[in-house]
Amino acid sequence: MFEGLEFTKMHGNGNDFVVVDEFHEEVVPEEHKPQFVRAVCKPRFGVGADGAIFVQPSSVADAKFRYFNSDGSEAAMCGNGIRCFARYVVEEGYADRRFKAETLAGIKELEVSVKDGEYWVRVDMGKPVFEPAKIPAAGGTFDGVWHDTFELFGRKVDVYAVNTGVPHAVVFVDSLDFDILEARKIRYNKAFPEGTNVNFARIVSRNEVEVRTYERGVEDETLSCGTGSVAVVAVASKLGLIEPEAIVKTKGGVLRIEVRDTAFMTGKATRVFDGVLKEL
């Protein structure tokens, strides 16, 4: 039923997306969007992606960002996704290189720059939210940062939480060599009534951290997570483990994160190809 639909494949540090342009008109009916996303994102049977982005007009900003996880659920925000959205909007002439985007997580300010043919996007991610009720996170202890103890890897570990547009749990580890599916013990725990993304972070220095992320909605590891990278720096800097401005290394590439009164994320956005669906 989606034959002939035009799309663009993009990625931010390997976190990949199918982008659908609805700036001038609706292409996928609202009631069919979850079904479409599940089909188009399915590896081998569809285009294959971690999620889908719909570019839409906005009455309160220059453009509207709609993001759906590959399971068809809509999410309020996606850090890598909004960078791809920003590049697309600028390339298509829908906005200047500095513009505002409407998201379910509020209005985001974006700045697109091009260096040596590469597109970089700086995103105002807003102020990280630590209040448990707004993450949301239940139980545990709150002393400026929500935290609780979980059984993981056969031992007890401290788990911290913050909302950076969507809920994120953060676990500090000495090594990133482990089975990422251990994250499901946190992702589905009753402490997180809306579920949570789970980030495992290894601190390299005061200005550098390595991260692996299990994403809610994708239900597996992604090569990079923008909101997750912000979450790690927000929690780690609040605990005094790193500086509030740090490099985050993910499997898919590097992100520059600044967390002060508000949080900023800077990273690349890659436009891989434009296509037309034939059978889906």
For the annotated catalytic residues, the residue numbers are 78, 225
Q: Which residues sit opposite 67 in a β-bridge?
A: 53, 75
- By CB atoms closer than 10 A (0-12, 13-18, 19+), residue 143 is exposed
H helices of 133-257, in order, are: 184-187, 226-238
227 is in an annotated binding site: yes
15 is in an annotated binding site: yes
79 is in an annotated binding site: yes
Taking the CA atoms of 231, 232, 237 and 239 in sequence, report the sign of the dihedral they define. Answer: positive
Asked if omega into 136 is within 30° of 0 (cis), the reply is yes
226 is in an annotated binding site: yes
195 is in an annotated binding site: no
Q: Report d(CA 233, CA 259) in Å as an integer.
A: 7
Q: Report d(CA 70, CA 14) in Å as an integer.
A: 15
For residue 248, the one-letter residue type is V
- The annotated binding site is made up of 15, 69, 79-80, 197, 215-216, 226-227
**Binding site per annotation, positions for substrate:** 15, 69, 79-80, 197, 215-216, 226-227
